[in-house]
């Protein structure tokens, strides 16, 4: 069919040509904005200007809604000048925003939060956080955890929020993926973030490895490398939630070697490397490896020294009138005292040989010092 180009000026001609291929029955009957208005009305929101008939708004400028905590939030409806699209924004008390565990970011640098907090204190919040709303949970954070942490650091109680249509949180992985993509648009997630998100999906939330790989959109070889890096706990995990962005997956593999030996020492090394970074030093894999190797050598050296200082032998042989001999062996092993007594009629030479065999068995379990008495 020929199309009159002059009459169709401003119309997407290509879409018209392809119209027969489009199933228009699947197109949404209302815009996202109208759906959001309807959802908020069902959750108890009341228009303060304009009217709302059967979920469709007419000249609607504001709505008011109560949070589960009983605080009232004024929702303003704004029209974007460039696109004409309508959006909803509101100022929400931070305590009224549910912050669920679907966030794909677990690394929040203290330096980044301090920097952002200082900027917000001077210039205000340039970009609102993104929330959705449900009747049961109230406002639910979708994007903006770092901004909220920075506001909390400043002592701010409320935050400007962009309100988007309700999302069904029944599928945790959908929202973890959503969070990952939203984060990567701004300050991208790091390898430690991704490792933790994958680990949570597979080992805590019960998704299969194949499903997590497919929906996160990560190649299988990357997943094989990332998953083992999620096993950090304790002090090291806490340190990495502040500095994890410094470390590539190969650097994390070196840290994992040290973590398996000593969690505390590993956390100290992570903090030392952070200091190096703050001093302007470039953090490379070889630098991390050297820090880890030196720490492991020091640990092994201390263990040997403790064994030398904490293990010793003393022995005594006493003969009585009936020609019986009493051998007493006292020794310390791994810091604990032990005493062994042997009564025998064997010769002193044979008894000394027996004692020597006993001492050698103890020595094989660790380095000891022996002394005669």
pLDDT above 90 for 249: no
Confidence class for position 17, pLDDT limits 50, 70, 90: very low
Tens digit of pLDDT for each residue in 299-315?
887 666 655 555 555 55
Three-state DSSP class for residue 161: strand
Confidence class for position 368, pLDDT limits 50, 70, 90: very low
Q: Count CB neighbours of 211 within 10 A.
A: 13
Mean pLDDT along residues 333-337: 59
Confidence class for position 292, pLDDT limits 50, 70, 90: very high
pLDDT above 70 for 362: no
Structure tokens at 105: 């970011």
Cα distance between residue 305 and residue 335, in whole Å? 12
Cα distance between residue 113 and residue 16, in whole Å? 49
Tens digit of pLDDT for each residue in 132-143?
887 778 888 888
Q: Which are the contacts of 372, defined by CB distance < 8 A and separation ≥ 6?
A: 314, 315
Tens digit of pLDDT for each residue in 194-207?
888 888 888 888 88
Cα distance between residue 8 and residue 28, in whole Å? 24
């Amino acid at each position: 069919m020929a199309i009159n180009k002059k009459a169709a000026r401003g119309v997407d001609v290509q879409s018209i040509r392809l119209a027969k291929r489009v199933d228009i029955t699947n197109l949404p009957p209302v815009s996202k904005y109208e759906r959001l208005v309807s959802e908020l009305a069902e959750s108890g929101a009341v228009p303060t200007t304009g009217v709302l008939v059967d979920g469709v708004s007419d000249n609607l400028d504001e709505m008011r809604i109560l949070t589960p905590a009983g605080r009232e939030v004024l929702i303003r409806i704004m029209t974007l000048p460039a696109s004409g699209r309508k959006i909803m924004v509101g100022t929400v008390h931070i305590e009224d925003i549910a912050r669920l565990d679907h966030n794909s970011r677990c690394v929040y640098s203290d330096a980044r939060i301090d920097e952002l907090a200082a900027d917000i204190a001077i210039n205000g919040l340039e970009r609102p956080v993104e929330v959705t709303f449900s009747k049961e949970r109230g406002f639910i954070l979708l994007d903006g955890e770092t901004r909220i942490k920075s506001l909390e650091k400043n002592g701010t109680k409320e935050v400007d929020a962009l309100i988007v249509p309700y999302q069904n949180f029944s599928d945790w992985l959908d929202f973890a993926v959503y969070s990952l993509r939203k984060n990567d648009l701004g300050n991208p997630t790091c390898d430690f973030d991704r490792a933790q998100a994958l680990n949570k999906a597979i080992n805590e939330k019960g998704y299969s490895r194949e499903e997590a790989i497919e929906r996160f959109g990560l190649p299988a070889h990357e997943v094989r490398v990332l998953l083992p890096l999620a096993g950090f706990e304790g002090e090291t995990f806490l340190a990495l939630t502040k500095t994890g962005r410094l470390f590539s997956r190969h650097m994390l593999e070196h840290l994992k070697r040290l973590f398996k030996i000593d969690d505390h020492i590993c956390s100290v090394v992570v903090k030392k490397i952070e200091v190096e970074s703050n001093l302007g030093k470039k953090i490379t894999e070889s630098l991390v490896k050297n820090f880890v190797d030196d720490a492991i050598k020091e640990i092994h050296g201390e263990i040997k020294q403790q064994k030398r200082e904490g293990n010793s032998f003393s022995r005594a042989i006493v003969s009585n009138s009936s020609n019986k001999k009493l051998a007493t062996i006292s020794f310390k092993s791994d810091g604990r005292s032990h005493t062994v007594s042997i009564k025998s009629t064997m010769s002193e030479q044979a008894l000394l040989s027996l004692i020597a065999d006993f001492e050698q068995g103890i020595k094989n379990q660790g380095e000891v010092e022996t002394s005669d008495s």
